[in-house]
Amino acid sequence: AVRVLAMLHAYPPEHNAGAEWAAHSLLRELAARGHQVDVLLSHGREVSAGYTLHGVEVHPHRDKGDPGPWMSGPRRADVIVTHLECTARASILGGLNRIPVVHLLHNTYEKSKTWLVKGRPALAVYNTRWMREDVQGWWRLHRGDRPMPRGITVRPPVAARDYAASKPGGRITLINLTDEKGALLFYKLAEAMPKRRFLGVIGGYGQQIIREDLPNVEIVPHTPGDRMAADVYARTKVLLAPSVYESYGRVAVEAMCSGIPVIAHPTPGLRESLAGAGTFCDRDDPEAWITSIRRVTSPKVYPPLSAAARARAAELDPGPELDAWCQTMEEVARRGRYAIPH
């Protein structure tokens, strides 16, 4: 079995952002196949005691010496997995202790690309094809003299059984009430359509914009991933995704598992995840969103759009990409062991 150490800043169910659930979906698959998976948190704000989630052992932050037991001795990790703000430290520790490091990439920000150069990971895992192509173009422009790290594409795994509601509800929903995710547009639509019922779900990160003056808008608390089907999607007729940036759009795929049509701003990630099942409007054109909501919810249009959403969710079955992920991780671990001097 492979011993995997994931160095991450936060983790479900206390932290419910898309990147964290995507990381957990990958790690739980390794655990399900018999590998030892430990998550070491770098923040102490949310978790005070260790716990197990779907076979993944999660360890709270104590002090800067936390990684020590996994760097040498009987608990030495075969491979380190990291992402976002933990990438720098994990890359340095992996290099010092000759443990291969795997970067999970959730965005195309300059900082993420730069650490592909500085950190020299054994593997880069891209969450979309478009993002991998973007990074490849950046690499050719800035580092054309060096080969890129080995890379695979694994779209954020969303299992329909985890997110499918028995029957979609009647509300128009936005998840994560920040400006970047489209909260201002959400409230503008609610004002313009007073007879429609709207549902706003407080997100796990970012400055939330909360308005309590609209009688047709209900605001619900931050919702753990394992409660999304029952508490959110079972109450939703249409999901709004007017994000200024989405590398993929996990909640859009989750919604489609219940046959919920999605109206989205055409970011490259949402275009890839929704494909032909999505309805796209510019986030700066409220009238287009009003028109689309009316069209999508009309009795003749809604059933075929709902069926298209379910079909797209089925097309995104994560099985083959999860197989590739596990096989590649096992290979990275074997190469890492071979590289250790005996």
Residue 341 has pLDDT above 60, yes or no: no
Residue 54 has pLDDT above 80, yes or no: yes
Share of the chain above pLDDT 90, in %: 85
Q: Which residues contact 74 (CB under 8 A, 6 or more apart)?
A: none
Q: Is 299 exposed, middle or buried (0-12, 13-18, 19+ CB in 10 A)?
A: exposed
Which single residue is written with the structure tokens 């999605």?
Answer: 262
Residue 17's pLDDT band (cuts 50, 70, 90): confident
Q: Tell me which of 94-108, 131-145, 155-169, 236-250 is least confident.
A: 155-169
CATH of the structural domain 160-315, one choice from 3.40.50.2000, 3.40.630.10, 3.40.50.2300, 1.10.1660.10: 3.40.50.2000
Q: Which residues contact 310 (CB under 8 A, 6 or more apart)?
A: 256, 257, 258, 259
Residue 313's pLDDT band (cuts 50, 70, 90): very high
pLDDT number for residue 46: 67
Q: Cis omega (within 30 of 0) on the bond before 268? A: no
Q: How much is the average pLDDT of 60-78?
A: 94
Backbone torsions φ then ψ of 75, nearest 5 degrees: -100, 10
* 87 contacts 118 by C-beta, under 8 angstroms: no
Name the pTM for this structure: 0.90
267-287: b (≥16 Cβ within 10 Å) or e: bbbbbbbbeebbbbbebeebe
| Average pLDDT along the chain | 93
Domain boundaries, the chain: 3-157+318-339, 160-315
Q: Which residues are paired to 57 by β-bridges?
A: 38, 52
Residue 342 has pLDDT above 50, yes or no: no
Give the residue, 255 or 168, on which the prediction is more confident.
255
pLDDT digits (tens, 9 = 90+) for 167-221: 878 999 999 999 999 999 999 999 999 999 999 999 988 999 999 999 999 999 9
Q: Which CATH superfamily hosts domain 3-157+318-339?
A: Glycogen Phosphorylase B; (3.40.50.2000)
Residue 80 has pLDDT above 70, yes or no: yes
**Matching CATH topology for 3-157+318-339 and 160-315?**
yes
Angle between helices 286-296 and 183-192 (to 10 degrees): 60
pLDDT digits (tens, 9 = 90+) for 125-167: 999 999 999 999 999 998 878 899 999 999 999 988 889 888 8
* Helix, strand or coil, per DSSP, at residue 317: coil
